[in-house]
Amino acid sequence: MNVFWLSFCFLSVVCILLYYSSGKGVQSQDDREFFLFQQTYLCVYLLAVGADWLQGPYVYVLYESYGMTSYQINLLFGVGFGSSMLSGTFIGIFADQYGRRLNCVVFAFLYIGSCITKHFPHFSILLVGRVLGGMATSILFSAFESWAVCEHNKRGFTELQLGLIFSKATFFNSVISIAAGYVAQVVADIYGYVAPFDVSIIFLVVLIVCILKLWNENYGDSNSNSTVSFATAGKVILNDKKVFLLGIIQSLFESAMYVFVLKWTPLLTPKTLIDNSAIPHGIIFSSFMIKVCVLLSFFGFEICVGIFWPSFATMRGHFVPEKVRSTIMNIFRIPLNLIVLLVLLQDFSTETTFFLCTFSLLSACIAQHVLYKLTNHHHHPEPHNECV
């Protein structure tokens, strides 16, 4: 057990040293208006991702403790991704037309409902929870970012400042994920596997209050109907090669990431302790420390994930038109969720699953290279960033 805690402390110290050595930890802010806006967004966003991260370490093991088979667990995860895929076709339109702030509040209520279902060891109730969680995930990865980009442009901040916001969001998201793993471990040890989901509910309640107090509403194209919004988003994706490639890269990279997240628990279980309850899933989730060869591969992948989030959010902020931003971002998530769903339902072996992840990442790398070439050789006009 000590190796998990020691590695967790070691990695935490390394992260802090790297952050401050980069200069971002002591960076001054001359623009007070931008600084306040940045704090307003980060406060809300980090509460949202904190609620999400708290649930990560113990979803799989909670299902196992309820006596669910491997097939049932894969089916539950598959339903979650299927729900996210299907709801993505209308949630983005809802956000653009009726407001990103409202959509973020809806996210919190959906996720609260999902957490409540974790108290019931019945497959059908857990299935409902996965549907609600899938819908909430679609909002988490679209509406929050769309709100930030719209407000950023309305207030006349620069694209460099937009990149700074997403860079800080990614860093503190990582800090939150580490802390969430620790908190989840502590409360699970004391109160059981369902306790992290109850803590997540507390985060979500605070999130609702903060959104209502700190954020104003903004929209994409609030005057367009659902059919027109979806058609417009589809035309943008098909007619703009850069936006199309962004969708391909996101689907390939994030699908590999989500499969990895879902499979690390069963991957580690047979290689550590026979008694699954003795494995500190929360601490492993925070540090991903188990053996030197697995540690190095986890490090490499997690570094890539850390680079991916701020850079990709900045690219979306530049290339994706504002009036259908949430709609396009959710369309991007349709093939992403479809890929994960197909992999889960096939119940591949661990080796096959991670081979597919590798293939997906290599394909994403090729698509990113093509996008890089297009960006360097052709000037891209500024996207229409009008928002209400």
SS (H, E, C) the chain: CHHHHHHHHHHHHHHHHHHHHCCHHHCCCCCHHHHHHHHHHHHHHHHHHHHHHHHHHHHHHHHHHCCCCHHHHHHHHHHHHHHHHHHHHHHHHHHHHHCHHHHHHHHHHHHHHHHHHCCCCCHHHHHHHHHHHHHHHHHHCCHHHHHHHHHHHHCCCCHHHHHHHHHHHHHHHHHHHHHHHHHHHHHHHHHCCCHHHHHHHHHHHHHHHHHHHHCCCCCCCCCCCHHHHHHHHHHHHHHCHHHHHHHHHHHHHHHHHHHHHHHHHHHHHHHCCCCHHHCCHHHHHHHCCCCHHHHHHHHHHHHHHHHHHHHHHHHHHHHCCHHHHHHHHHHHHHHHHHHHHHHHHHCCCHHHHHHHHHHHHHHHHHHHHHHHHHHHHCCCCCCCCCCC
pLDDT in tens, 342-363: 887 787 887 888 889 899 999 9
Confidence check: pLDDT of 273 > 60 = no
Q: Which of 130, 70, 4 is nearest to 263 (CA)?
A: 70
Q: Which residue carries 């949430």 as its tokens? A: 326
* Predicted pLDDT of residue 122: 95
Are the beta carbons of 245 and 320 closer than 8 angstroms?
A: no
21 is a domain residue: no
User: What average pLDDT score do residues 142-155 get?
Assistant: 89
pLDDT in tens, 69-82: 888 988 898 898 88
Reported as half-sphere exposure (CB side, CA atoms, 13 A), residue 98 has a value of 12
User: What average pLDDT score do residues 366-379 get?
Assistant: 83
Task: For residue 233, name the pLDDT band (cuts at 50, 70, 90).
Answer: confident
* Predicted pLDDT of residue 289: 43
Higher pLDDT, 87 or 264: 87
Confidence check: pLDDT of 211 > 90 = yes
Mean pLDDT of the chain: 82
* Predicted pLDDT of residue 301: 79
* Predicted pLDDT of residue 384: 52
Task: For residue 37, name the pLDDT band (cuts at 50, 70, 90).
Answer: very high
Look up residue 123 and give its two tokens. Answer: 């497959």
Q: Which of 222, 263, 293 is nearest to 356 (CA)?
A: 263
Higher pLDDT, 62 or 78: 62
User: What average pLDDT score do residues 260-271 get?
Assistant: 62
Q: What is the CATH number of the domain that holds 246?
A: 1.20.1250.20
22 is a domain residue: no
188 is a domain residue: yes
Confidence check: pLDDT of 221 > 70 = no
Task: For residue 109, name the pLDDT band (cuts at 50, 70, 90).
Answer: very high
Parent domain of 266: 39-377
Domain count for the chain, please give it: 1
15 is a domain residue: no
Q: Which residue carries 């940045």 as its tokens? A: 38
Are the beta carbons of 80 and 130 closer than 8 angstroms?
A: yes
Confidence check: pLDDT of 272 > 50 = no
Please give the model's pTM, rounded to 2 decimal places. Answer: 0.76
User: What average pLDDT score do residues 99-105 get?
Assistant: 93
Q: With b meaning 16 or more CB within 10 Å and e meaning fewer, what string describes 280-295?
A: bbbbbbbbbbbeeeee
Question: Which whole-number Å values give the CA distances from 100 to 2, 104, 222, 327, in the listed order?
Answer: 45, 6, 11, 11
Percentage with pLDDT > 90 across the chain: 34
* Predicted pLDDT of residue 126: 96
Confidence check: pLDDT of 292 > 50 = no
386 is a domain residue: no
User: What average pLDDT score do residues 171-190 get?
Assistant: 88
266 is a domain residue: yes
382 is a domain residue: no
* Predicted pLDDT of residue 364: 93
Q: How many residues does the structure list for the chain?
A: 388
Percentage with pLDDT > 70 across the chain: 80
135 is a domain residue: yes
